[in-house]
Structure 1
Amino acid sequence: ETAEYVKEKYSTIEKRVKALIQKVAIVRYRAFDDVGSDLSYSIAFLDNDNSGVILTSIFGRNESTTYAKPIDKGISRYDLSDEEKQVLENCINNVNEN
């Protein structure tokens, strides 16, 4: 009975751990020619199944915009910018350039 209880608890914990954020990657870039430095960025947070979210912040001279795109098993139902594609690939492969 105790062994069965332990197996059940282990299974529950294993499922929860797989759903936790396990991979993070960031790509910083200059979104506009008239704004200095790499102030814009895209950051991906993925779980074991490559599901999660990409957060992107575009920094401009007069305004900043931040938005999120959900990722399901490595795929977004939204179009991704080149930088978002790069950060997703980096995150899936556990590569962090910046």
Structure 2
Amino acid sequence: MFQFFKKTEETPSTPEEVVKKLKVLEERLLKTRKELEETKGKLKFSLSKVALVRFNPFKEIGSNQSFSVALLNHHHDGVIITSHFGRETNRVYAKQVIKGKAEHQLSEEEEEALQQAMGSK
């Protein structure tokens, strides 16, 4: 439990060694901070906002097997994927989203998924 206070071979014993050790630790800290900032920047482009809306587009099918899913990054760029499940066929559509706006007209369910995803943190 108190391993921190135990003397090891690496424990500095002179003021010069303490200063040297502090410089090494400071360099490590600066490197770690830089890596953290780089990682935070990259994360803004990863998919971090997701929303799923299930629905029934056809009256003859009794359950909500169709869906729209919005997959966005921090900048609200990404894609909306919609699957319309029918009795004899299944259709899948993908619509690109840039800064929260779709290139193609969105259905009500796609718009709902987009708004939910943009509202998520």
Fold match by TM threshold 0.5: yes
Aligned with residue 18 of structure 1, among 44, 48, 57: 44
Aligned with residue 69 of structure 2, among 43, 51, 56: 43
Other-structure match for 1:73: 99
Shift of 1:23: 1.2
Aligned with residue 84 of structure 2, among 49, 54, 58: 58
Gapped runs of 5+ residues in structure 2? Answer: 1-26
Gapped runs of 5+ residues in structure 1? Answer: none
- After superposition, the C-alpha distances for 1:2-21 in whole angstroms (9 at most, x for unaligned) are 46644543332121111111
Shift of 1:68: 1.0
Q: TM-score, normalised by structure 1?
A: 0.85
**Structure 2 counterpart of 1:71, which letter?**
V
**Helix, strand or coil at the partner of 1:25:** strand
**Structure 1 counterpart of 2:49, which letter?**
K
Aligned with residue 114 of structure 2, among 81, 88, 93: 88
Alpha-carbon distance between aligned partners in 1 of 2:98 and 2:33, rounded to the nearest angstrom: 29
Alpha-carbon distance between aligned partners in 1 of 2:56 and 2:48, rounded to the nearest angstrom: 27
Q: TM-score, normalised by structure 2?
A: 0.70
- After superposition, the C-alpha distances for 1:36-72 in whole angstroms (9 at most, x for unaligned) are 1001000011111111111100011110011211111
